[in-house]
Chains A and B, each alone.
Chain A
């Protein structure tokens, strides 16, 4: 029910917040329309209310907003968005308004942009393997339908290329399934957004993605709504329309910065590096919207992208993200500098849902063992490399030198691949065996004897590698 009273003038403005006095019958979290003298309309949300005053956070920001001549109406409801299948193939701003020149979306279905928590009892545990065609992911950090798996990157590294490659290559499905991408850009430049749009357009299966843009020149506060708008549509598509939706959110670091800005203008006590103490819960309210639901067809898989300030994984943004998401794909500067694409770090990357999504009947029986062994051996390579840099390679044992060979082969043949190269999981596992077979079979204690018997290539260690 609409609250018809219109208030004139603002009591104060501070950053993205405006203060309105002597309001009546206004609820916490309520949506607000703010119209300035020029007729320009902005939306906001009540973030604090008492008997005197409402504090409203303005999504479009307050720049250019005077105190006088403002008309405010409280709408008596939360921020909602119309959702429909027609939104596929369209481009929207951060709050879900079309910016592609085509008409406003009409739909009977309005959804609360903030979503609701999924009852843990109603979740379906995600187990379906998505073949991304990228060995470092499929083989060692398997992506599962309904997973939230972020890419932790650094400036200049090819996170966008990887995300786009995943989107393109994951689109191949059985005939009766529908797949789509919902893309949200927060605070990135137009060419980044354009790169994705073109990449989606190029690949036929993704021609119909929905795009939510809140680019670098849009008000910072709008970024806080953008991922939520995208996820609201995704929820509709997944759980009402039964589609498998891949949501790409970039760049979550910009999102977090906007949140920090808002928090500081509210005068809140900052936590680490000035980010608010509730950053964890706030991020969780986005990331936890991924998943599957019992009895529903579709799924929401999230790939949030974030750039780690100075490649620091312990920075609050990647740190808190890692605590919420179901693993992380970490890009490594060292591999990137060696021109290895994709520069997916061997050790800190992790897929927590991999364990239940692989193996016999899903991928292949030897998958878990091969993955664990590659991790263990590569960890040893890193140790030996550190040692070799001090004592020199000559001082290494013969076995250690074999490990070094394994290490470079692993990087060159297993990790490296083309940006359009789409490997099957069998190919990935076979390359894994070829690489592991440079080591003596006794070293492969993470793999069952049975699998060693079946897949180990006895001559590989003796011959020069990469012959086939």
Chain B
């Protein structure tokens, strides 16, 4: 089977290896390097010399060592068994690697990404003679308790179904169908797809559906649509990872692809421990049953970090093509960009801003372009929502990765150091963040409750006014402000503590249903409007702010579970009756005062 191309290593500089003699090899082909057959990819061709980026530790590699290439591009193996798995950046299964090698990852280990011995119960959904279009659904497999795996014809295959296996159990390597067309094709449950090539679909569509995340500040103030893109920039310790974990746990996507790109090992372990135990409120099944993890931690080979986000997004596209809503979390895209920088500098590319290669922006754009709400080749709707964390040096958002990313995404969830320092989580700034999806998701919320938009805007107004007034307070102190403005400060404080702040470890508050979000927000907005009227009728602000209801409603988020939100109504009544008692008093006073001046003889 020697259709392999042979070459020889000529130099080694870190993970960048030069080789000679690889005639016929193409850009982005896989190369197997040295006696351990380390996985690499051809990233540059220069005459007789191929430049290969090696994805594994290559200590010990020597000039003169052999390089082999099959002439195939670096690819991801797609098929049942991806879900619940954890892979490194080049899709090596970390569980199997641990079983073979023990606790440490060593080089040169070769394991199939998918279990080749496991038998999957396959149910055909087409019969011989049926027409097979590209991307057509051939049959189904229950991959996990929450994911029905739709077996698809590859995007470049079409014709007439010649044969299909009967319902039964098959491994991913057995032939299960045959298509007769321009070229005959034998299909299995699994197939390869080049990692850097986006999978085709029929067309893009407008989404109109929010990705509900269960995080109040996101859903209510800075929502993202299914198929949308968002960036979470923030200095260290401001909550990028926690926010992504919260979204991965509670957002209403069907599939989660979680890419740990150059970050901590323990954060991956944390997900691996927690997700099997946490129950998805929608399916009643463990969250792990809808999750795929890609873990290329900071101490693993840097080039594989660069590929990891492509591995992740390719798997996301595969499930999207089955008609699923997929959410991709990439933590952190800065580490990916740094990998790009490190490799490009070893190649001697001309650096642009801060040493990053000039193609950084293009690469970022290509990555976020792979998100979207689409009609699949098979005519179903599917989406990829991509949420990338950015780790700006010194927390300064003016750096290239943050700046370029904001050009290609439509949600900006800015993390604020001051909020994080005060342990106000999520520390997403309501001043610096923005979303371009409000109009797209508005009708969805409107169907839930027609007052949503108005309430949201009232609350936002209070917060923005508060921000403006805080600048004045800094100079003169709060007591110098008119009472109506002091009320704004007080109400904003209530919204910050009772609504925006949401602790991911609070058993009742870690995720918040859309109904609960709206009910809570209404409480604060109603409180404000009512209090404003009372002040106008002469009631002392102190009396309003010291109402027990004012401090009660701040606690409701963590005292009332999503399943018992009716109890919020009781509190609403109590709040209203306390406020109207003050109102009645004001009215009495006016009457009494009027009576007094009238004078009776």
Which residue numbers of A lie inside 8 Å of B, CB to CB? 25-30, 48-51, 78, 114, 116-126, 239, 268-272, 277-278, 280-281, 284-285, 288-289, 291, 293-294, 296, 314-316, 319-320, 322-324, 326-328, 347-348, 350, 352-353, 355-356, 368, 372, 375-376, 379-380, 386-387, 390-391, 395-397, 442, 445-446, 448-449
Known contacts: A121-B86, A280-B338, A445-B497. The answer to whether A270 contacts B104 by CB under 8 A is no
Distance between Cα atoms of A445 and B396 in the complex (Å): 32
Q: Is the CB of A347 within 8 A of B422?
A: yes
Which residues of A have CB within 8 Å of B236?
Answer: 319, 322-323
Distance between Cα atoms of A254 and B351 in the complex (Å): 27
B300 nearest CB neighbor, chain A only: A117
Distance between Cα atoms of A78 and B61 in the complex (Å): 12
Q: Is the CB of B273 within 8 A of A121?
A: no
Q: Is the CB of B59 within 8 A of A29?
A: yes
Q: Closest CB of chain B to A325's CB: distance in Å?
A: 9
Interface string of B91-116 (1 = CB under 8 A from A): 00011011001111110000000000
Which residues of A have CB within 8 Å of B474?
Answer: 386-387, 390
Distance between Cα atoms of A281 and B335 in the complex (Å): 9
Distance between Cα atoms of A190 and B345 in the complex (Å): 38
Which residues of A have CB within 8 Å of B86?
Answer: 120-121
Q: Is the CB of B302 within 8 A of A116?
A: no
A373 nearest CB neighbor, chain B only: B423
B203 at the interface (CB under 8 A from A): no
Distance between Cα atoms of A387 and B266 in the complex (Å): 41
3 tightest A-B contacts by CB? A29-B59, A379-B422, A50-B11
Which of B373-381, B475-483, B593-601 is found at the contact surface with chain A?
B475-483
Which residue numbers of B lie inside 8 Å of A, CB to CB? 10-14, 18, 57-64, 86, 94-95, 97-98, 101-106, 235-237, 260, 262, 264-266, 268-270, 272-273, 295, 297-300, 302, 335, 338, 341-342, 345, 351, 354-355, 391, 393-396, 418, 421-424, 473-480, 497, 503, 505, 551, 554-555, 558
Which residues of B have CB within 8 Å of A356?
Answer: 270
Distance between Cα atoms of A350 and B422 in the complex (Å): 11
Which residues of B have CB within 8 Å of A368?
Answer: 505
Q: Is the CB of B103 within 8 A of A395?
A: no
Q: Closest CB of chain A to B505's CB: distance in Å?
A: 6
26 contacts between A and B (CB under 8 A): A27-B59, A27-B61, A29-B59, A29-B60, A30-B59, A51-B64, A117-B265, A118-B265, A119-B101, A120-B94, A120-B260, A123-B266, A268-B345, A272-B393, A281-B299, A285-B298, A293-B103, A316-B394, A322-B237, A326-B266, A328-B237, A375-B421, A387-B473, A391-B476, A397-B477, A445-B554
B421 nearest CB neighbor, chain A only: A347
Q: Is the CB of B298 within 8 A of A280?
A: yes
Of B61, B268, B423, which is within 8 A of A372 by CB? B423
Interface core residue of B103, B393, B505, B555 (most chain A CB under 10 Å):
B103
Which residues of A have CB within 8 Å of B418?
Answer: 379
Of B13, B422, B477, which is within 8 A of A376 by CB? B422
Q: Is the CB of B266 within 8 A of A391?
A: no
Q: Contacts A117-B265, A280-B338 given; 17 further ones with Cβ under 8 A?
A: A27-B62, A50-B11, A118-B104, A119-B94, A119-B101, A121-B94, A278-B338, A284-B262, A314-B393, A314-B395, A316-B394, A356-B270, A372-B423, A376-B424, A387-B474, A395-B477, A395-B480
Which residues of A have CB within 8 Å of B341?
Answer: 271, 277
Of A314, A352, A372, which is within 8 A of B396 by CB? A314
Q: Is the CB of A122 within 8 A of B102?
A: yes
Of A284, A352, A355, which is within 8 A of B505 by CB? A355
Of A50, A294, A397, which is within 8 A of B10 by CB? A50
Which residues of A have CB within 8 Å of B554?
Answer: 445
Which residues of B have CB within 8 Å of A49?
Answer: 11-12, 62-63
Q: Is the CB of A120 within 8 A of B297?
A: yes
Q: Is the CB of A375 within 8 A of B479?
A: no
Of A116, A314, A324, A355, which is within 8 A of B264 by CB? A324
Q: Closest CB of chain A to B122's CB: distance in Å?
A: 29
Known contacts: A120-B86, A390-B474. The answer to whether A269 contacts B355 by CB under 8 A is yes
Q: Closest CB of chain A to B42's CB: distance in Å?
A: 18
Which residues of A have CB within 8 Å of B62?
Answer: 25-28, 49
Q: Is the CB of A280 within 8 A of B97?
A: no
Q: Is the CB of B345 within 8 A of A277?
A: yes
Distance between Cα atoms of A124 and B338 in the complex (Å): 28
Q: Closest CB of chain A to B294's CB: distance in Å?
A: 11
Distance between Cα atoms of A449 and B237 in the complex (Å): 28
Distance between Cα atoms of A171 and B462 in the complex (Å): 52
Known contacts: A30-B60, A277-B342. The answer to whether A397 contacts B551 by CB under 8 A is no
